[in-house]
Amino acid sequence: MINNRIRRKAAGFLSVRVRQFSLYIPFSLCLTIALLWQTVRSQSSQDAPTRKPTPQGKVEKLTSVEVSPVQGASWLQHLGRPMNESSMGETGLLGPSPVQEQGAAQVDVSLPTGPLSITGKDLFELSCRGCHGERGEGAPPEINSMIDPVRATSIELIVERMKKVGAPVSTTVARQLASQAENLLLQRIHNGGHDMPAFPQFAPQEVKALVSYLHLLVGIPNAEKKQVTLEESVTHVGENLVKGTCHICHAAMGPNPSPEEIAGGAIPPLEILPKRVNLQQFVEKVIVGRPIYMGNLDLRYRGRMPVFYYLRPENVAAAYEYLKHYPPIGMAEK
């Protein structure tokens, strides 16, 4: 495979030549050059992390987890940032319009009756993907990519990278650097950052499963051998989704907004949701979207809420159950 340096030189050479001589080159030759340029670009894109099937790994039962209600203002309210000015909680897709609703996908919904099997990928989708995206690239400058910080936890990738840039390091030094990077990653998950909420609801086993999936996501060698599946209670799965994704935009408590207020940008609080819709409606709203009443006319419109199409119905149903059994509360007591 052509290495990156040769690809960049070839691409640069072709770009300059096409700009300088496009008036004189026959069409067939221009087409050939264009195809070669596209090939160079497509080969370069292979350096980015690609989506891989997620191995299930060994199964562990999650223990010693204390579920608690969601509380306080939404994360966007905490930041003082309007929803329409942020990429947080965005998936790039909206639900159907009233005209499209008749042909919209239906979701089979059933209430989970026992523990749910949750992989590291599930944890990523419940709490991380809404902001960082499917591949962990984020939306800079607001949302940082997690790719390089996670890759920095790999001894093998550090050795390989330093060798490529002409500054080789020993395995001992690489191990120290990887350990420092892992500590920083764990601190960020536990404590959050300036623009990132903390995730204190994660149990140690969940953090381990999540980090193992992040290793797989960014292409760390042998990560597929370290994947873990956890058996978790329905309410804790719901807690992770509500606190990790829903609470980005929805405050815990507040008044039930009118259609006029919703048209003006109001977002229903989490405590109201189980009262506004039933289980089936809740799951469909989250996964495929549904039109809503907005404005002072009795008309339905396409909603502003993103569609979280990648979530499993049973995990969304778990969020509904969590909100019913652990009603949201106001601000945290100091």
d(CA 239, CA 233): 10
Distance of CA 237 to CAs 33, 193, 214, 254, Å? 52, 23, 19, 24
d(CA 187, CA 316): 28
pTM of the predicted structure, to 2 decimals = 0.80
- Count Cβ atoms below 10 Å from residue 193 Cβ, excluding itself: 10
Residue-by-residue pLDDT tens, the chain, 334 positions: 434 443 343 334 333 332 332 323 233 323 222 332 333 233 333 333 444 455 556 788 987 789 999 999 999 999 999 998 999 999 888 888 777 777 666 788 888 888 999 999 999 999 999 999 999 999 999 999 999 999 999 999 999 999 999 999 999 999 999 999 999 999 999 999 989 999 999 999 999 999 999 999 999 999 999 999 999 999 999 999 999 999 999 999 999 999 999 998 899 999 999 998 999 999 999 999 988 888 888 788 888 899 999 999 999 999 999 999 999 997 644 3
Please, is 258 exposed, middle or buried when counting C-beta atoms within 10 Å of its C-beta (0-12, 13-18, 19+)? middle
pLDDT at 176: 97
d(CA 239, CA 271): 13
> What number of CA atoms fall less than 13 Å from residue 83's CA on the CB side?
19
- Count Cβ atoms below 10 Å from residue 284 Cβ, excluding itself: 21
Question: Is the previous residue joined to 141 through a cis bond, with omega within 30 degrees of 0?
Answer: yes
First-to-final CA distance of the chain: 59
Beta strands in 28-186, from DSSP E residues, in sequence order: 58-61, 116-119
- Return the H-helix or E-strand segment holding 99: none
Q: Which residue has the tokens 């996908």?
A: 105
Q: What is the DSSP letter of 105?
A: P
Contact 206, 121 (CB under 8 A): no
d(CA 64, CA 233): 11
d(CA 322, CA 114): 14
